[in-house]
Amino acid sequence: MLVSAKEMLNKAKAGKYAVGQFNINNLEWTKAILLTAEELKSPVILGVSEGAGKYMCGYTTIVGMVNGMINELGITVPVALHLDHGSYEGAKKCIEAGFSSIMFDGSHYPIEENLAKTKELVGICEEKGLSLEAEVGAIGGEEDGVVGGGEVADPEECKMIADLGVTMLAAGIGNIHGKYPANWAGLNFEVLAKISEKTETMPLVLHGGTGIPADMIKKAISLGVSKINVNTECQLAFAAATREYVEAGKDLEGKGFDPRKLLAPGVEAIKATVKEKMELFGSVGKA
Ligand code: 13P
């Protein structure tokens, strides 16, 4: 059964570890992540972007697939199915479709509008027992002419959104989605410490988990990050393993063209990536 992310994240915050959100793209992705979470007895959050939602034939298809897999694979660890960077309309659709967790990303709205829309969704999610992630708008993150740094949130605005009663809060601390450029300035721990101090027990979310060095991840967790999102790293691992299979000509040997064979190395690569992250985040054995 799907669960809200509230309990797993409050436990993570108190226990100083983080739960991974791994984005899903298809059946293979979902199966690889669920099996790894079960093997490692780790709670897990499956992230679905609006684009991936369209790709997988809509939110109800995804809810059906994930619920079916939890049942058929005998998954016992807590699993949250979470809309990633949802619009206001997308959030409503996912609530209706049976997601157990929602991110409403109002960070591009002026703060007043972000507050108003987030507040409305807090009410709806509370009533339905769903967890809600909000995102706070960003101020320019460029410093000393360093380009490629992500945006940095205003701790005062973080407190305003946290006080609405959201379950978790995403706030920019120089992190970005995708691969980090060679001249990336790194995470802004000074701002993270301020946000943490102001928002107290609120689980904080670190987006753009791909490519952040292990020591920075550990420091971020020690400063209050309890959910870390990883997407690109699984995609890169899947693509590299699939490339190796094809370049070795294995799809031309026997029934190597069978999708169950062709996609198998990619699935194993996703499993290895998820395992590595769960170990780094400290969520192993916490289910
Ligand atoms: P990456 O693709 O950089 O891992 O980021 C994932 C993410 O933050 C999804 O919201």
CA 180 – ligand 1 centroid, Å = 11
Q: Is 230 in the pocket of ligand 1 (CB under 6 A)?
A: yes
Q: Which of 84, 144, 163, 251 is catalytic?
A: 84
CA 105 – ligand 1 centroid, Å = 14
Q: Is 236 in the pocket of ligand 1 (CB under 6 A)?
A: no
Q: Is the pLDDT of residue 141 over 50?
A: no
Q: Which one-letter amino acid corresponds to residue 258?
A: D
pLDDT at 149: 62
Q: Is the pLDDT of residue 142 over 60?
A: no
287 found inside a domain: no
User: C-alpha distances in angstroms, 269 versus 39, 40, 262?
Assistant: 15, 16, 13
CA 255 – ligand 1 centroid, Å = 35
Q: Is the pLDDT of residue 143 over 90?
A: no
Specify the residue with its C-alpha closest to ligand 1, atom 9: 229
- The torsion defined by the Cα of 121, 123, 126 and 127, in degrees rounded to 10, comes to -110
Tokens of 7: 């309990």
CA 265 – ligand 1 centroid, Å = 22
* 84 among known catalytic residues: yes
Each residue's pLDDT tens digit, 68-110: 999 999 999 999 999 999 999 999 999 999 999 999 999 989 9
For 134, the domain range is 6-281
How many residues are there in the chain? 287
275 found inside a domain: yes
The alpha helices in 73-110, defined as continuous H runs, are 88-97
187 found inside a domain: yes
Q: Is 235 in the pocket of ligand 1 (CB under 6 A)?
A: no
Each residue's pLDDT tens digit, 196-231: 999 999 999 999 999 999 999 999 999 999 999 999
Beta-carbon contacts of 238 under 8 Å, excluding residues fewer than 6 positions away, are: 29, 266, 267, 269, 270
Each residue's pLDDT tens digit, 145-163: 545 567 889 999 999 999 9
Total-model pTM? 0.96
70 found inside a domain: yes
Q: Is 233 in the pocket of ligand 1 (CB under 6 A)?
A: yes
Number of domains in the chain: 1
Task: Please answer whether residues 227 and 18 qualify as being in contact, where contact means their C-beta atoms are separated by less than 8 angstroms.
Answer: yes
CA angle 193, 198, 204 (to 5 degrees): 65
Q: DSSP letters of 199-260? A: HTTPPEEE---TT--HHHHHHHHHTTEEEEEE-HHHHHHHHHHHHHHHHTTGGGSTTTTSHH
Domain at 150, CATH number: 3.20.20.70
Atom number, ligand 1, closest to the C-alpha of residue 233: 4
pLDDT at 25: 97
CA atoms of 41 and 245, how far apart (whole Å): 30
1 found inside a domain: no
